[in-house]
Chain A
């Protein structure tokens, strides 16, 4: 047996992924169902020379990781719905200042303090539009521990590549379940390191001057160069500006750098989709139930397939549109009142063929729940 076969909890797999990607600084405020991430990192980070700080709240947690990231380290915080709400202002600051950072939101029932120990996927739209103003964001998710590890590494890579906060939108079932995972050896998967400026010390460095390839090399704050960082609209020097041209260009840059690369950022998996007449679309732990239902139907000759989304934002609209062509029905399986379903309806040519199978009562949607919904829309009765 290989030594790197492990049996662990979802939250632990997220930690392993973060450490693999080079996480060095974590600031957070523990909250169910994400607590184990803070608990394990409080032990692991000091062992590798990193820093773990338990903050007074989630606002401070997000601000602390932004500061630490500017000094040149890979950073992360983890929370759940109520804490994610508190982080929104600072997430907007990280978007505006283009600071690479990773925010884990292990979703639980909401709104308010909701159902602390129960599963939900109700923060999909909050991840997209939780902070004010026109902006874009990356949000990734996964349905099993192996993928949770991979997308966590991926989140750090995308954060560094695009200089943006990346939201890891997991859920209680994934975070608390335990299953087999194979931890890759160092070097097995790509880790993107911080792109630092080649501008020498003593020479003018423009922190917000976009390179031809769209990237902005960074300089460790407090190091070789002096520069300004502000949440206000700013010029290439990082100083506040109210020049309409500067504002126009900056907002365009912040949105386009992700939305124009939505295809590159799109992550998804296909299960039995080739000849599927009915296509399920799902993500996170509800995709496990969807896959179970698909395999059960396939054994009985049913032509059902599953498109499992691993990137939710920017919404992989082109992919979804392409995969939905020629299906008799599209059934979106999620644990909210249709947050991704509405996005699917927006991009497909026949939105009236898109239906929703959902639960939002704190219980993981079951394969039977999905089948009943499918039977109903196909007119077969329940």
Chain B
């Protein structure tokens, strides 16, 4: 595979760093790839802008930050306003229609999904939005397999919350599937 650079962005407490860790760990432990995850955040525990970067590659990774992501996920309007301009041309931008109003056109594929709406109607708890978003992103890109990310969830998530997180990942993958069936995309297949 080529090196893939991913940025998850949102607000503190939304779990964007957790989602990034799960993705990166799945790549290293279960897919035998190299992966590196970093984050930047302010001193506050909740609120404030949060950003988590993941690089996945089959080659050694040196510079640990992402400057221009192939895949950008934004969970708040603030994150969208701040980061949508850095996306690599031809990349993928994933946003949630509940949180983000599209302000401008970007030189990338913009997938806008009702993730918050779906999570509230199917699970009823917004705390798993990050995992749902991860599932959707994996469904759209095939970066790591659903099984790998599921296995990481089992080791990372406290037992009491495991079931709803697993469900969130599953329905995220399903949402991406139904989107893929409507839109033929180069992102649906992982590269050889």
User: What is the interface of chain A, defined by CB distance below 8 A to chain B?
Assistant: 1, 5-7, 32, 116-117, 173, 176-180, 285, 288-289, 291-292, 295, 364, 366-368
Contact = CB atoms under 8 A, between A and B. Distances in A.
Given A5-B28, A7-B29, A289 B63 contact: yes
Contacts, number: 57
Contact of A117 (B28, B40, B64, B65): B40
A177 B63 contact: no
28 contacts: A1-B29, A1-B32, A5-B28, A6-B29, A7-B24, A7-B25, A7-B28, A32-B43, A117-B41, A173-B64, A176-B39, A177-B36, A177-B64, A178-B21, A178-B24, A178-B25, A179-B28, A179-B34, A179-B37, A179-B61, A179-B64, A180-B28, A180-B34, A288-B62, A289-B62, A289-B63, A366-B63, A366-B65
Contacts of B21: 178
Contacts of A364: 64-65
Interface of B: 21, 24-25, 28-29, 32, 34-43, 61-65, 67
B83 to A, nearest CB: 15
A178 B18 CA distance: 12
Nearest to A145: B36
Nearest to A143: B62
Given A5-B28, A117-B40, 5 more contacts: A117-B43, A179-B64, A180-B34, A292-B62, A367-B63
A292 B65 CA distance: 11
A291 B64 CA distance: 11
B42 A180 contact: no
B33 to A, nearest CB: 9
Q: Name the residue in B24, B25, B35, B36 with the highest tally of chain A Cβ atoms < 10 Å from its Cβ.
A: B36
B62 A295 contact: yes
Among all A-B residue pairs, the 6 with the closest Cβ atoms: A292-B63, A292-B62, A178-B37, A7-B25, A7-B28, A177-B38
A116 B64 CA distance: 20
Contacts of A292: 62-63
Contacts of A288: 62-64
